[in-house]
Chain A
Amino acid sequence: MEEEKREKGVILLDFWVSPFSQRLKIAMDEKNVEFECIEEDIPNNKSQLLLKSNPVYKKIPVLIHDGKPICESMVILRYIDEVWPHQAPLLPSDPYSRAIASFWADFIDKKVYDLGTKIWMRSGEVQETAKQELLAVMKTLEGELGEKEFFGGDVFGFVDITLVPFYAWFHAYEIFAKFSFEEECPKIVAWAKRCMQRDSVCKALPEPKKVYEYLLDLKATYNLY
């Protein structure tokens, strides 16, 4: 049986606007991990490499480490933290704190993107309900954040990385559903601004204006008004 030659190094199959991809860029930057970013043409022209590396979901991000693919951003995030544990550990060391961090990251992963999608894609009652639900999610997260600098406490970590890429989408959500995150959940906005002071975060996040324009394009393409 022929052994597949495995390319050494770290490759990230990416799409510029994806908040899921950005989680990984932030994590690897925090850990000074060198990686090569390959931009995929989503959704219409996915590369053979992507389809081969993620046959189950055919989605980005995919991390390819020494030729071996890992899929699903939260799984990849844990992998990155385990393979490069010494610099900028993302999860705390005691099991209970790790479970709590995992819980909140999972909560964010389950809720934010889908509600946000309803906000930009839909209108009327569906949009309004999604807005109310997203604000409720943010208020719950504000409660968890409390007076801490980051969700991880003094240290920027796992939960912060899971949530912060959505900050680039706030502007778009605000325009589509006519509200203000600053008014409704000022602590989250303040936390996001603190995160943006980190190189890893401000390098990874796209400009909010570009996210808004991307969504306008999508709406036009799919005739969503």
Chain B
Amino acid sequence: MASNAAVPFWRAAGMTYITYSNICANLVRNCLKEPYKTDALSREKVHFSISKWTDGKPEKPSFCSVFIRSLHLPDMVANL
């Protein structure tokens, strides 16, 4: 599956390795059977509030409550 191109496809799409491995992990977690699936998916919850500061002034804080599911990638891959 390793491409022979100069950069792997996900790097060319602007993703970091971390995002790539998180998506792969999410796909693996979705392959589990119940009840392990709900346990594993509960370990995937993300919530924090991030605020960028410029020149000593904060900008409005934004919440990051994202599940990787929201990227709809598992459906895309399933349709390949």
A, B bound: no
B residues engaging A (CB < 8 A)? Answer: none
